[in-house]
Amino acid sequence: MKSLIKKIAHSDIGLSFRNTFNVKPMPININNSKSVSVSDSFIWRTDSNFRTKFKYTDILNLFYKTKNTWVEFHFYTKENRLIKIEKYKNLDISNEIEINSKFLGDIEDYGTFYIYHYSEKEIEGENVISNRCYLGYSQDQKLFSFVHGNVYAKSSEIYGNQKISSNILKTSLFKNKYYKIQKYFDNYDRSELIFANPTSKTIRFSINNCNYQIKPGCSRLVDISDIKIINIKSNCLLLRPTVFSYKESFLDVHHS
């Protein structure tokens, strides 16, 4: 009986009920994942003279001494249209790529991308790996401001059918989750928030009572230049945007 109750509690319906009515809510669920590579929903920017630099590690080689490894990057527009998939073999322990408009086919905008690690050789046991990585953003050829990954988003089997799974990040039926960014935005020329929705559901949220929504797989930039304190109310349990703050010629990027 206990195992049946636990199974129901961790099912999609059970988690939706728990998260909606705050009964031991679960913001992230990767309990059913076995031998998978989990990716954050990373933000790329090529708009307004931005370049994005991404630093990542060959985790399977570093921690499991597996040599025949590779990674795949999946790039999406802000409307969740797949731009391209890039595959990299012969990895070093430490690697990096630079994402500019030319890299994305002359697109000057923003969107999301995901990184998945793969191996030709099976690894003993059940392993859930995640490359939290570091993202750097540079505008007008200035120094990069770096930020690490924000929240688990999607996963793929390390070997096998390499099927992409989403909905690691959980939502509720109602807009009843509250989050205040621990930052005072008064001392900047302007600030922006970029939200990503890696789920298959529409995320509805408000910033200081102004309503927004993000369709499945999409991302959205919100200008908050006239707001000092940010209060977010949403139907997502961990809706944490990436913050871009500007002061004269300086740029500060961090997760909230």
The residue range of the domain holding 149 is 36-165
Q: Are residues 102 and 161 in the same domain?
A: yes
Which CB contacts under 8 angstroms, 24+ apart, belong to 144-147?
Answer: 144/53, 145/251, 145/252, 145/253, 146/253, 147/242, 147/253, 147/254, 147/255
Q: Are residues 112 and 62 in the same domain?
A: yes
Strand partners of residue 245:
191, 252
**Percent of the chain residues past pLDDT 90, beyond the cut:** 68
Q: Are residues 191 and 80 in the same domain?
A: no
Pairwise CA distance, residues 117 & 74, whole Å? 12
Our count of domains for the chain comes to: 2
Phi and psi for 201 in degrees, rounded to 5? -120, 155
- For residue 96, the Cα-to-chain-centroid distance in whole angstroms is 18
CB contact at 8 A, 187 and 247: yes
At residue 144, the 3 state secondary structure works out as: coil
Q: Are residues 84 and 145 in the same domain?
A: yes
Q: Are residues 42 and 155 in the same domain?
A: yes
User: What pLDDT is stored for residue 90 in this prediction?
Assistant: 93
Q: Record the pTM.
A: 0.92
Q: Are residues 131 and 97 in the same domain?
A: yes
User: What pLDDT is stored for residue 148 in this prediction?
Assistant: 86
Consecutive H or E run containing 87: strand 82-88
- For residue 33, the Cα-to-chain-centroid distance in whole angstroms is 18
Q: Are residues 43 and 158 in the same domain?
A: yes
Pairwise CA distance, residues 195 & 31, whole Å? 25
Q: What share of the chain is helix, strand, coil (3-state, %, to 5)?
A: 10, 45, 45
Return the closest-CA partner of residue 27 out of 189, 232, 237: 237
Q: Are residues 47 and 152 in the same domain?
A: yes
* 233 has a pLDDT exceeding 80: yes
**Residue 153: inside a domain:** yes
Query: Which of 165, 195, 218 is the last residue before a domain boundary?
Result: 165
CATH number for the domain including 59?
2.60.290
Q: Are residues 159 and 232 in the same domain?
A: no
* 8 has a pLDDT exceeding 60: no
Q: Tens of pLDDT along 131-170?
A: 888 999 999 999 999 998 888 999 999 986 778 888 888 8
**Residue 185: inside a domain:** yes
User: What pLDDT is stored for residue 162 in this prediction?
Assistant: 76
Phi and psi for 17 in degrees, rounded to 5? -65, -50
Pairwise CA distance, residues 111 & 46, whole Å? 9
At residue 175, the 3 state secondary structure works out as: coil
Q: Tens of pLDDT along 68-119?
A: 899 999 999 999 999 999 999 999 999 999 999 999 999 999 999 999 999 9
Query: Which of 114, 136, 165 is the last residue before a domain boundary?
Result: 165
Q: Tens of pLDDT along 57-76?
A: 999 999 999 888 999 999 99
Pairwise CA distance, residues 73 & 76, whole Å? 10
User: What pLDDT is stored for residue 104 in this prediction?
Assistant: 98
DSSP secondary structure code for residue 28 in this structure: B
